[in-house]
Amino acid sequence: MIRRYDFGSPIHTGAVVRELPVENAAVPFFATEVKDSQVRFTIHMDADDLVFGLGESLRGINKRGHLYRAWNSDDFSHTENKASIYASHNLLLFSGKEKLFGVYFDDPGAMEFDLGYTRGDTAVITSENGDLSVYIIEADSLTAICKEFRGLIGRSYLPPKWAFGYIQSRWGYSSDPEVRNVVKEHRDRHIPLDGVCMDIDYMVDYKDFSWNKEAFPDLKQLCTDMKEENIRLIPIIDAGVKQLEGYDTCDVGLEKDYFVKKADGKPFVGAVWPGRSYFPDFLREDVRTWFGGEYSKLMDEGIEGFWNDMNEPALFYSEESIAEAFAVADKLRNENLDIHSAFALKDAFNGTANNMEDYRRFYHEVDGQTIRHDKIHNLYGAYMTRAAAEGFRRYDSSKRFLLFSRASFVGAHRYGGVWQGDNSSWWSHIKLNLQMLPSLNMCGFLYSGADLGGFSCNTTEDLMLRWLQLGVFSPLMRNHSADHTREQEVYRFANWEDMRDILTVRYGLLPYLYSEFMKAALSDGMYFRPLAFDYPTDDVACRVEDQVMLGSDCMIAPVYEQNARGRHVYLPEDMLMVRFRSATDYDLTPMEAGHYWIELALNEMPLFIRRGHVVPLAKPAEYVEGIDFTDLRLLGWLDEGVTT
């Protein structure tokens, strides 16, 4: 059962696809206060209450005890003190002895979620704009609540099958020979691979929908040659359009008045990779139609997948904010800078990036209304994703294209996937990767994954190998790293054969993983779940933060600590442990419910299969189309014994 309650003048976000009547009664479960245009919702939490949700956010699976903020932020330092990163997914699930319900806050502006931060026994959720719809979702289990929610917001995006293969990416691939060499190194060593991402270096001066014809003299031929190797190229597209006369995308956008504007009617100018840029007003249907059509310039060359970036939108500075910073510098130029003035100078320039004042300087047209950007900030990236997906559908409605984005909002799950942003090569981020996956699933984002090995900082051999062992199970399996960091393609490492062998496990399990993904997508289910969803009466399982359920039959428990040669695992029921070293080299160990220390060498990864269930395993392949889905071995612990 879902009930809707409106406050102020809710803005249509596109998140919800079912129209529900507005209830006149008070919102159940919460004490509600409207003050100074804000709306505050307060609920008491008992000592054992759990709080799930919020999709892509930091900290644990159980969100209780921290302060979160719904504000899509370009912040690459994913440390525990951050209240928000790239996405806003305003779903919460409360579970305890006296409560079991979900609540979705359909608000595209800033919200604060104080989930026991100020007072450990109290959750306070605040809408800063006060214009929103609140949906209370009740069902007899946490899984059923999520299913009800998905019925409210619509079916999840379906990527092409090849997009479940391993993808290699790096900020820095800048020429045809470099891309070909990456593929050659994988194929020569029989390292599985299905895609190569092209970051901003393939463009001309960071202009969207352009490519450097000196570095890539024949992009169509490159795409053709790569497809013969069963490889797809996946270029990046950014939200900002370079301010440059003679650049077709810029010229048309200006001529047709497609860019967001300031209060005086002039286009807003902010800087990203190409310097001064304009920003399409993706909330307008005509702008989405135009921008979505621009992708065809690359699709005509043979491209079948894209990743959208910098679409919070990220801002390095605006014309106004950089002028203000230089004014501070001029004022302080000849002063003897003390602690206060020195930091004032530093803050003046650091503060130009993603400045809150800049987000109040431009406006959108929404259903005939002019609305200031900060009121609907969290929709921007979602509507860029929608523009692309709708463009793909017009281009070829018979084909599934790959699309994943950095910024998102509920509703974007219908159009594309997400990756978990610019993480770091830290052991803690393996665990963070794991914990985000079920939370994203709750909000409909099934096709997701993190930058394996870490984006920023320098990875290590053991970190890379352990992260690949988790990545085996995430629908988006991409190795991505930043320019000027250690090169982290698998073949760069002395133990590359161990890494290759782990990748074969991905391809061996893909018949199962793909099937479970499709089942979750088509039945409004979850591919990943917290243990609490499957074992709600098991107090230990409800508190587990580093193991998650996978599909109908499995549980995963990756190693995520430096120098660890094993880990503690809790089995809430009898399970069969499969200790993989490759798709053809593994051990099977039946284990009864309980606590265990599992020895796991660096090149070993576990999978736990519930007793009475079986999982198919294919023979190794080097690309998705090479997998034989008809010749499968079954792994399981049945009443007759272990089967393989």
Q: Provide the phi-psi class of 303: left if phi over 0, else alpha when psi is between -120 and 50, else beta.
A: beta
Query: Which pLDDT score, from 0 to 100, does residue 640 have?
Result: 76
**Residue 155 and residue 153: Cα distance in Å, rounded?**
7
Query: Which pLDDT score, from 0 to 100, does residue 138 have?
Result: 98
Query: Which pLDDT score, from 0 to 100, does residue 104 have?
Result: 98
Query: Which pLDDT score, from 0 to 100, does residue 55 have?
Result: 98
Q: If you average pLDDT over every residue of the chain, what do you get?
A: 97
Flag whether pLDDT at 461 surpasses 90: yes
Query: Which pLDDT score, from 0 to 100, does residue 544 have?
Result: 98
Q: Provide the phi-psi class of 96: left if phi over 0, else alpha when psi is between -120 and 50, else beta.
A: beta
Structure confidence at residue 490 as a pLDDT band (50, 70, 90):
very high
Flag whether pLDDT at 415 surpasses 90: yes
Bridge partners of 633, per DSSP, are 617
In the structure encoding, which two tokens stand for residue 384, read together? 């860029």
Q: Give mean pLDDT, residues 620-640.
A: 95
**Residue 478 and residue 453: Cα distance in Å, rounded?**
9
Query: Which pLDDT score, from 0 to 100, does residue 398 have?
Result: 97
Question: Residues 158, 163, 169, 174: is their CA dihedral positive or negative?
Answer: negative
Q: Are 92 and 114 in contact, with CB atoms under 8 Å apart?
A: no
The span from the first CA to the last CA of the chain, in angstroms, equals: 43
Flag whether pLDDT at 97 surpasses 90: yes
Between residues 81 and 374, the one the model is more confident about: 374
Flag whether pLDDT at 27 surpasses 80: yes
Structure-token match 């990220």, residue found: 314
**Residue 169 and residue 191: Cα distance in Å, rounded?**
15
Structure confidence at residue 643 as a pLDDT band (50, 70, 90):
confident
- Give the CA diameter of the chain: 85
Of how many residues is the chain composed? 644
Portion of the chain with pLDDT greater than 70, in percent: 100
C-alpha distance from residue 408 to each of 427, 491, 535, 589 (Å): 25, 33, 30, 41
Give the list of residues 6+ apart from residue 545 with CB closer than 8 angstroms, or none: 60, 61, 62, 435
Q: Give mean pLDDT, residues 5-33.
A: 97
- What type of residue is 69? R
Structure confidence at residue 77 as a pLDDT band (50, 70, 90):
confident
**DSSP code string of 7-40:** ESSPPP-S---S--PBP-SPPTTSEEEEETTEEE
Q: Are 626 and 595 in contact, with CB atoms under 8 Å apart?
A: no
Structure confidence at residue 81 as a pLDDT band (50, 70, 90):
confident
Query: Which pLDDT score, from 0 to 100, does residue 22 have?
Result: 98
Structure confidence at residue 76 as a pLDDT band (50, 70, 90):
confident
Query: Which pLDDT score, from 0 to 100, does residue 242 have?
Result: 98
Q: Are 531 and 541 in contact, with CB atoms under 8 Å apart?
A: yes
Q: Give mean pLDDT, residues 41-49.
A: 98
Structure confidence at residue 639 as a pLDDT band (50, 70, 90):
confident
Q: Give mean pLDDT, residues 568-591.
A: 98
In the structure encoding, which two tokens stand for residue 525, read together? 């289910």
Query: Which pLDDT score, from 0 to 100, does residue 155 have?
Result: 98
Burial class of residue 373 (count of CB atoms within 10 Å of its CB; 0-12, 13-18, 19+)? buried
Query: Which pLDDT score, from 0 to 100, does residue 83 have?
Result: 85
Q: Are 301 and 223 in contact, with CB atoms under 8 Å apart?
A: yes
**Residue 424 and residue 122: Cα distance in Å, rounded?**
33
Bridge partners of 624, per DSSP, are none
**Residue 305 and residue 403: Cα distance in Å, rounded?**
6
Query: Residue 286 in 3-state DSSP?
Result: helix
Flag whether pLDDT at 310 surpasses 90: yes
Measuring CA to CA, which residue among 13, 7, 65, 71 is closest to residue 41? 7
- At residue 438, φ and ψ (nearest 5 deg) are -65, -35
Q: Which helix (H) or strand (E) holds 598?
A: strand 594-599
**Residue 582 and residue 73: Cα distance in Å, rounded?**
39
Burial class of residue 252 (count of CB atoms within 10 Å of its CB; 0-12, 13-18, 19+)? middle
